[in-house]
A and B are shown apart, each in its own frame.
Chain A
Amino acid sequence: MSATLLIVVLLVLSAVAFQVGRSKALRSTGGKIAPLHSLPTYYGSYVALWVGIPSLIVVALWLIFEPQIINALLLAALPEQVRALTPAELGLQINDIKNHALGGITSSELSPQLQQVADYYVSLRQNGLLGMAIVAIAAGIGGLAIGWRHVAPNFRARNHVERTIRIVLIVASSIAILTTVGIVLSLLFESIRFFAQVSPIEFLFGLQWSPQTALRADQVGQSGAFGAVPIFAGTLLITIIAMVVAVPIGLFSAIYMAEYASPRFRSVIKPVLEVLAGIPTVVYGFFAALTVAPAIRGFGEGIGLDVASESALAAGLVMGIMIIPFVSSLSDDVINAVPQSLRDGSFAMGATKSETVRQVVLPAALPGIVGSVLLAVSRAIGETMIVVMAAGLAANLTANPFEAVTTVTVQIVTLLTGDQEFDSAKTLAAFALGLVLFVITLGLNVIALRVVRRYREKYD
């Protein structure tokens, strides 16, 4: 029984339940609606909910616990000598069995004994799915019976249905919390495993980053060093370049839009500028790698500079362009929120428009502008595709924008997209970097949102 079939069966069952509940309610009053407490559809919905919710709970529980239960059963079925292996080898062996069972690519032929385990695994999964389907359908039918028995003319079906709807709404809005918790937990768990192998002090303050770990003890140059300072420095360098581009251009366009532009100019140009924010970052990355980086390299050679082909400058410039609309539209809002009375006061004192902007409007809007710049910085730090395509891979501790540097996001991508080693410090390092990224961007956002909100309250 496939999952799709199960869904169809459950949907049909719910539809049947709806009809059954509705018609029982109508029949109980001889087809008249008035004696019923609720409209007939509410009785139908009530019974349908009794089918849907129990069976959905069964499916959800199965989805959550199935992998764990099956893994435990699989482990118990393994021969003694296999179970005595180290966790890493055991994991490899189990993966092998699973791949074999599901017809994937395997690294070795299985022994007859393990073949038996693989067959057992296939049957476990099939029986598990079948069993779950039967339990889910049984729960649905049981629910139908219970709901059907409740249907009576003075039964408050609408109140029950509406209470359920409210609970569903609450559950839906708490998914945001669940996502945050999921992010924090998954990053934290993997990072703790990483820090069990590499000390946090070395990670945060070490100057050497070469995440290859040795497969054999006698390998050369494979020692594995996890000092992330060069990565943080590279991220900072590229972010600074991006901000040097984005802040002046974004701020000046915001000032022009808010203070000088005619409504017609504004209504045309503003959406066009927003297009810059809508272009996928992979397009910027391609643009940086194909056009900007060679142009900068050529220019550098022209004036006798040695420019790396993956220079921090190229990635930073293009990232700055991407961020212009963030700075400009946020600052635009902030400048527009400055009360007109401040401007009028300044004009009355004889100040020109630019003097008003510089000496009255900008100081008044400064907290909001700082907030928007902080949001833009967090955007730049978390931006991935531009740097993956246009910045370097090797960690390089330098402040020279013409050299190639690497960033946190580039390292996460390279550590997790190549050949993954099971549980190695290399893969886990990506999660530690992700944790750092999450904490920093979260901090910046919280500060920025607080600054912007406090500023809004001041003038509202």
Chain B
Amino acid sequence: MTDLLAGRVLTDAAAQQRLKRRHRAERRFKYYGLAAIFAALGVLAVLLVTIVGSGYSAFQQTYIQLDIELREDVIDPNGTRLDDDLRQANYAVLVREALLKIFPEASGRRDRREVSHLISSGAGIQLLNMMLKDSSLIGTTQTIWFKASADLDSFSKGQIPRDVPEDERKVSDKQIAWIDQLSEMGLVEKKFNYDFFTTADSREPEQAGILGAVVGSLLTLIVTLVLSFPIAVAAAVYLEEFAPKNKLTDFIEININNLAAVPSIVFGLLGLAVFLNYFELPRSAPLVGGMVLALMTLPTIIIASRAALKAVPPSIREAAMGMGASPVQMVMHHVLPLAMPGILTGTIIGMAQALGETAPLLMIGMVAFIVDVPGSFTDASTVLPVQVFLWADAPERGFVERTSAAIMVLLAFLIAMNILAVLLRRRFERRW
């Protein structure tokens, strides 16, 4: 019977057709799946390539070398050498003089202005700081590297093309001629942009750095960690080890699950209404930001900690109890230490989430323009993702590459944290 049937199926042409069609459909279906995966991976690749491609140039900065005559009659006409007097002086004049010495043809008012726009407006501060450090330099002539202004920097990195009409680009023909002349003289150089990592925000792209945001992020994360880790572990221990099965416990569990899915911006509204308006804590402070993020990351850490506690086998508990330990001793001395690697992994992942979070911090005013590196938990500050948001909004050309560079730094931190979590899991993971 089966032989007969099999023979008929194999010989029937229509059946073979049908089989072929079904196999084609099978292959198609499989390729849809593969295509979906590679579409997602492709987008990820495009995203990363775009960010790196537009951001790597921010790690270099164009510098221009000038011989500055540190004239005493400009810097310190009274000869006092007091810091207050040195601060009064107009150092920009000295920079312009040095430039005009190289380009004597720039004589008109407009030309002179364009000449001084070759150099960053931070050059004066740079000279002032030199003078404050060593006032004996006054009266001498020094060879100093200055940052080029942001537009010139973009131009020399090729981001502003030469061949567009002059009125459509930010660099004038004359400035191009000057910068060409300077590079022929060997006075223009691209150097690694250390300042990007050692300064805080600025209105001028070439002077803006991420240190302020990194320190702000660090302070905020410290607050988040100090608040959320103990509370989350305590809550997880209670729910997993001690909680009786009753309405209250159920209610707590439902709450935790729902909090994990509440939009982050709602936590920002909570912070604004409760921490800022009711408790009158300072606006824009890492303290408040950390508190809001702690509430936000609590569910993540609680859920991960409970999974880690659940993974500790009951035999450990029974052995401890058998030796006469009280339930609290059993948990504190045996279960919790064994679950700690898993708990720490969950905590790091929660911290990585908190590090990348922006929206709730906008609500509590961490979106301000801050030029100082924050020094304490109550100083006004910003954080890395908010810095990205601020720079992405800035109209200057030079901020585009800095935004991407800040994103690269942010992603580097996140990758480092995730690798740490993976290593921790690998190193301490135990199969019972």
Contacts and interface: CB of A to CB of B under 8 A. Distances in A.
A353 B326 contact: no
A357 B29 contact: yes
B358 A384 contact: yes
B37 A273 contact: yes
Contact of A283 (B242, B295, B367, B410): B410
Contacts of B259: 176, 179-180
Contact of B234 (A172, A381, A389): A172
A382 B302 contact: no
B432 interface: no
Nearest to B388: A282
B262 A382 contact: yes
Contact of B388 (A162, A283, A442): A283
B258 A442 contact: yes
Contacts of A353: 26, 29-30
A375 B261 contact: yes
A434 B266 contact: yes
Nearest to A259: B33
Given A182-B270, A413-B265, A260 B33 contact: yes
A352 B22 contact: yes
Given A187-B269, A280-B410, A409-B359, 17 more contacts: A64-B279, A251-B36, A252-B36, A253-B37, A256-B33, A272-B41, A279-B414, A280-B385, A282-B358, A287-B50, A354-B29, A358-B29, A416-B362, A431-B273, A438-B262, A445-B258, A449-B257
Given A186-B269, A354-B26, A290 B262 contact: no
A160 to B, nearest CB: 11
Given A169-B238, A280-B358, A175 B266 contact: no
B252 A441 contact: no
A278 B266 contact: no
B41 A269 contact: yes
B363 interface: yes
8 contacts: A162-B328, A179-B298, A249-B39, A325-B40, A357-B29, A378-B261, A382-B263, A441-B262
A378 B411 CA distance: 26
Interface string A268-284: 01001101101111111
Contact of A287 (B22, B32, B40, B51): B51
Given A260-B30, A280-B410, A176 B235 contact: yes
A275 B44 contact: yes
Q: How would you classify the secondary structure of chain A's contact residues: helix, strand, loop or mixed?
A: helix
B429 to A, nearest CB: 15
A183 B299 CA distance: 15
Nearest to A416: B363
Contact of B392 (A162, A290, A384): A290
B256 interface: yes
Contact of B266 (A173, A269, A324, A438): A438
Contacts of B35: 252
A430 interface: yes
B40 A285 contact: no
B213 to A, nearest CB: 12
B392 A285 contact: yes
A256 to B, nearest CB: 3
A249 B36 contact: yes
A355 interface: yes
Contacts of B414: 278-280
Contacts of A177: 251-252, 255
Interface residues of A, number: 88
B26 A176 contact: no
Contacts of A170: 238
Contact of A352 (B23, B243, B352, B400): B23
Nearest to A180: B255
A283 B51 contact: yes
B298 A175 contact: yes
A176 B29 contact: no
Contacts of B270: 179, 182-183, 186-187
A63 interface: yes
Contacts of B23: 352
A354 B30 contact: yes
A235 B43 CA distance: 23
A417 B265 contact: no
Nearest to B28: A354
Nearest to A384: B359
B37 A282 contact: no
A177 B235 CA distance: 11
Contact of A412 (B242, B265, B356): B265
B69 interface: no
A278 B238 contact: no
Interface in A353-393: 353-355, 357-358, 375, 378-379, 381-385, 388-389
A173 B239 contact: yes
A413 B386 CA distance: 13
Contacts of B159: none
Interface string B338-367: 000000000000001001111100110001
Interface in B292-315: 295, 298-299, 302
A283 B411 contact: yes
